Amino acid sequence: MICPTATVARPTGPVRVLVVDDDRRAASHTAEWLCSQGWHASAVGRADEALPVLARERVAVCVVDGLLPGDGAGRIASALRLTSAGTGLVVTVPEGGAARVSPGIEPDHVVALPVRDADLLAALDAAVEAGRRRSGAAGMLPPAAGLVGTSPAMRAVLDLVGRLADAPATLLITGESGTGKSLLAREIHRASRRRHGRFVEVACGCLSETLLESELFGHVAGAFTGATADREGKFLQADGGTIFLDEIATATPALQVKLLRVLQDLRFEPVGGMHTHAVDARVILATHEDLGALVAAGRFRADLFWRVNVITIEMPPLRDRVGDIPPLAGRFLAAAVGRGGRDVAGFTPEALEALARHSWPGNVRELKHAVEHAVCLGRGPSIALGDLPVAVRRAVEVPAGGAEDGRAGVLKRALVHPERRLILDALERSNWRRDAAARALGINRTTLYKKIKRLGMNLAELRAGR
């Protein structure tokens, strides 16, 4: 990978570098050479090996082969962007291959192969500095480790983040439980001019009416039994930043009246107090319920509904973004291993097939718990089908008698159309190149060929027809 040309000054102090290349000999050679130049470098051959290292150790720069199989470079880039913003990313590509780097990777530097040592060292220095700048600009908000996806549904959501980050209107995020509404709210705050202010989250469904009102607006001493001192509320804490009200549909009618006033002019009085506070806070609300139906049933005020229903973003359920399951599972695996779990390299093809076929009624949250379950209870070097929860395994398992379980058969038949559509969309976006389509779907080419054959897809006819 390295073509020696000149000796370059060594960096001051050891800096951790991880080299990822499926040519393991080249990766090891590069790591050894970097060590001779004063860097603390190591090498791995696959993204599944790199993700646990990145979750476990403080890596300053990751040097990645941009053409890793199975969209490995994209998975690593997503992990760094969402869980380790301070880690720089250098991507290597064949001469003139910069255009082949996926737009979602967004490296700090692209270096052409064969790499000259001076070019690589310059790229590493620049990537370290870029990571430091990102770390310094991170503000008070922790990274949104689960908001990731390249599926059409998620791309549409992520496109709205930049467009609405500084919009003055109140935002309402809808979607099923476990889809990541809180993570989306955090990402909107992170992208806005308010990112240096606080992000204050309130789970409205977890508190009684009295406690929730005090939590939101604060209280003065003596306002109720146990209120021995004045307390600042969440709205005041969010002054200059963003307040996120989760599960707003659980608010009582009395609290809805107060919320309506706050949303109109951002003024309120603490519980038991007379002084009116005015704040400058961005308000984002979320619910998994149909507020329109609640209004019709008399359980939610119509005037408050029209006040919050100005701009609505719907988080898609995981079953509608099957292509995002492999990178999400890889992210959760790296996090579980990084927290001290057993060392796991990745997922077997059978396990990935089960993850792709499960209906995920609990959405991303259920996927996270399924991966943690497998890490805790599995024994092999990779997550196998038998390590996954029973509900996930049912999507692909066949009973001992040989006949397919009825529910699994129904699920498989229900998934044929969306799976076929996802493959066609990936092929069209990749100009019908199956290797590129496989990377976009987060699977290898062999798996894609098997799916195409199983679905009876004649690519020549489909390409001519579309």
In this predicted structure, the answer to whether residue 9 has a pLDDT above a threshold of 70 is no
Whole-angstrom distance, CA of residue 446 vs CA of residue 188: 38
What does the angle CA 9 – CA 10 – CA 11 come to, to the nearest 5 degrees? 120
Higher pLDDT, 350 or 440: 350
In this predicted structure, the answer to whether residue 145 has a pLDDT above a threshold of 60 is no
For the chain, domain boundaries: 2-136, 152-314, 320-465
DSSP H or E stretch at residue 42? strand 40-44
Domains 2-136 and 152-314 in one fold: yes
Predicted local confidence at residue 432, as pLDDT: 83
Question: Is the peptide bond prior to 11 cis by the omega test (within 30 degrees of 0)?
Answer: no
In this predicted structure, the answer to whether residue 329 has a pLDDT above a threshold of 50 is yes
pLDDT, tens digit, 9 for 90 and up, residues 181-201? 998 998 898 888 888 888 999
pLDDT, tens digit, 9 for 90 and up, residues 264-277? 888 888 888 788 88
Predicted local confidence at residue 312, as pLDDT: 93
Q: Domain 320-465: which topology?
A: Helicase, Ruva Protein; domain 3 (1.10.8)
Mean pLDDT, all residues of the chain: 80
In this predicted structure, the answer to whether residue 120 has a pLDDT above a threshold of 60 is yes
Helix H, strand E, coil C: the string for 169-212 is: CCEEEECCCCCCHHHHHHHHHHHCCCCCCCEEEEEHHHCCHHHH
Please state the CATH superfamily assignment of the domain spanning residues 2-136 in this structure.
Response regulator (3.40.50.2300)
Nearest to 180 by CA among 233, 144, 228, 142: 144
In this predicted structure, the answer to whether residue 407 has a pLDDT above a threshold of 50 is no
- Average pLDDT, integer, range 1-28: 66
Which value, in Å, is the radius of gyration of the alpha carbons in the chain? 25
Predicted local confidence at residue 466, as pLDDT: 58
Question: Cβ of 318: how many Cβ atoms within 10 Å?
Answer: 28
pLDDT band for position 136 (50/70/90)? low
- Average pLDDT, integer, range 97-110: 67
Q: Give domain 152-314's CATH architecture.
A: 3-Layer(aba) Sandwich (3.40)
Whole-angstrom distance, CA of residue 230 vs CA of residue 220: 4
pLDDT band for position 412 (50/70/90)? low
Predicted local confidence at residue 274, as pLDDT: 82
**Does residue 261 sit in helix, strand or coil?**
helix
In this predicted structure, the answer to whether residue 281 has a pLDDT above a threshold of 60 is yes
**Does residue 399 sit in helix, strand or coil?**
coil
In this predicted structure, the answer to whether residue 165 has a pLDDT above a threshold of 60 is yes
Out of 121-135, 378-392, 397-411, pick the least confident: 397-411
Predicted local confidence at residue 387, as pLDDT: 92
Predicted local confidence at residue 340, as pLDDT: 63
In this predicted structure, the answer to whether residue 417 has a pLDDT above a threshold of 80 is no
pLDDT band for position 404 (50/70/90)? very low
Nearest to 2 by CA among 142, 123, 104: 123
- Average pLDDT, integer, range 201-208: 81
